[in-house]
Amino acid sequence: MKKTILLGAIAMFAMASCKKDRTCECKSTTTSETVNGVSQPITDPVTTTTTKYTKASKGSVECNSGEETVNFNYTINSTTYVLAQTNKVECTLK
């Protein structure tokens, strides 16, 4: 009986300590930028985003590094532009 209670207490403690407030911080560095296929100078190369999770286990939090390509379409004076931006993303879970 004592062993059962002890094991139950250890299991409850382990489960309680796994869930806590976590923060995913990502640094995005622009590696290339083009408008209508023409290479552009990179004006703002680094941005940082932070996502906060409340009482989350480590496995339930998405905090992924990698590379992303973002496309924007916009129109100025009836001319449509396509901006393509490639970013290297480095994330850390705190």
Query: Could you tell me the maximum CA-CA distance found in the chain, to the nearest angstrom?
Result: 80
- pLDDT at 9 (0 to 100): 56
Higher pLDDT, 61 or 24: 24
Whether residue 26 lies inside any domain: the answer is: yes
Whether residue 2 lies inside any domain: the answer is: no
Whether residue 77 has pLDDT greater than 90: yes
Segments forming the whole domain that contains residue 69: 20-93
d(CA 31, CA 38): 14
Residue 36 Cα distances to 17, 32, 59, 75, 85, angstroms: 51, 13, 40, 12, 11
Threshold 0.85, pTM exceeds: no
Whether residue 51 lies inside any domain: the answer is: yes
What is the total count of domains within the chain? 1
Whether residue 50 has pLDDT greater than 70: yes
Token pair of 35 as six digits? 């408008």
Report the Cα 19 to chain-centroid distance in Å.
19
Q: How would residue 4 be classed by pLDDT, with cut points 50, 70 and 90? A: low
- pLDDT at 86 (0 to 100): 93
